[in-house]
């Protein structure tokens, strides 16, 4: 009768098992049914705290043991625990600088087989900035008798949050509702005509409001003077030339 060395049989079986070992898929961050593939996108806010968990990577192997995980992609704001597959945030995110981070994570089992999961991490914007005007106050001159629909001035507030849309409103000072806002323009309201004898100056507080997350409001004052003529600088220059001309004539006599 043939006799078998039990130790040799066990050794051969182990070698056979390790030789056939393979990463068969991924259970997290989302199901991937092959050794390598793309996981579902992950979305995180740009104000996520440092050291917070972003995702957990969990590969499966046909020998039942995944030995290690490795973050293959370099230069990312994340770090990966090689044992647990937990991905954490290590540096601040900025929606305005980079929206998407594509990373690849490699899993290796005890038999040396590996697979790679690729995922896109999308950063969402939060409202960090308040709309700002170029100055805190402005002075505008318009001519008496300006009719409905005529532009008085244009607003140009800015917001560091690129995803924000700014809307403008008149907070105060709009006597008799003579003025209105259309998009980023201040106009004479429908059915109105500016009359210097009724209101010669409007002291407006204009609000600029952004649109993402917690609303933030910036403001500036606009003084709108209703004048018979708005060419005061040209008139002053003309008077200066006339004065100099008369002085020259007087010096020649």
Q: Which of 170, 209, 205 is nearest to 187 (CA)?
A: 170
pLDDT at residue number 2: 44
Q: Which of 58, 81, 67 is nearest to 113 (CA)?
A: 67
- Taking the C-alpha atoms of residue 207 and residue 228, their distance in angstroms, rounded to an integer, is 29
The predicted-structure confidence for 31-43, as pLDDT tens digits, reads as follows 999 999 999 999 9
Under-70 pLDDT residues of the chain:
1-20, 232-253
Give, in order, the Cα–Cα distances in Å from 180 to each of 94, 103, 122, 196, 213: 37, 50, 40, 18, 27
Ramachandran bin of 145, using left for φ above 0, alpha for ψ from -120 to 50, beta for the remaining angles: left
pTM exceeds 0.75 for this model = no
The predicted-structure confidence for 172-214, as pLDDT tens digits, reads as follows 999 999 999 999 999 999 999 999 999 999 999 999 999 877 8
pLDDT at residue number 245: 59
């Amino acid at each position: 009768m043939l006799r078998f060395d039990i130790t040799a049989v066990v050794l051969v079986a182990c070698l056979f098992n390790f030789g056939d070992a393979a990463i068969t898929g991924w259970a997290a961050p989302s199901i991937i049914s092959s050794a390598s593939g793309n996981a579902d996108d992950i979305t995180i806010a740009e104000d996520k705290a440092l050291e917070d968990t972003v995702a957990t990577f969990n590969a499966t192997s046909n020998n039942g043991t995944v030995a290690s995980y490795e973050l293959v992609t370099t230069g990312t704001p994340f770090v990966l625990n090689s044992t647990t597959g937990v991905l954490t945030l290590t540096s601040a995110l900025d929606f305005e600088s980079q929206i998407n981070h594509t990373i690849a994570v490699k899993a290796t089992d005890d038999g040396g087989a590996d697979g790679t999961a690729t995922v896109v991490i999308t950063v969402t914007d939060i409202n960090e900035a308040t709309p700002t005007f170029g100055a805190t106050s402005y002075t505008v001159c318009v001519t008496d008798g300006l009719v409905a629909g005529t532009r008085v001035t244009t607003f140009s507030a800015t917001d560091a949050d690129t995803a924000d849309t700014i809307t403008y409103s008149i907070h105060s000072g709009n006597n008799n509702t003579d003025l209105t806002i259309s998009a980023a323009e201040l106009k004479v309201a429908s059915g109105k005509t500016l009359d210097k004898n009724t209101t010669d100056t409007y002291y407006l507080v204009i609000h600029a409001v952004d649109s993402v997350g917690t609303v933030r409001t910036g403001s500036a004052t606009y003084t709108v003077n209703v004048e018979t003529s708005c060419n005061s600088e040209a008139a002053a220059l003309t008077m200066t030339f006339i004065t100099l001309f008369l002085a020259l004539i007087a010096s020649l006599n």
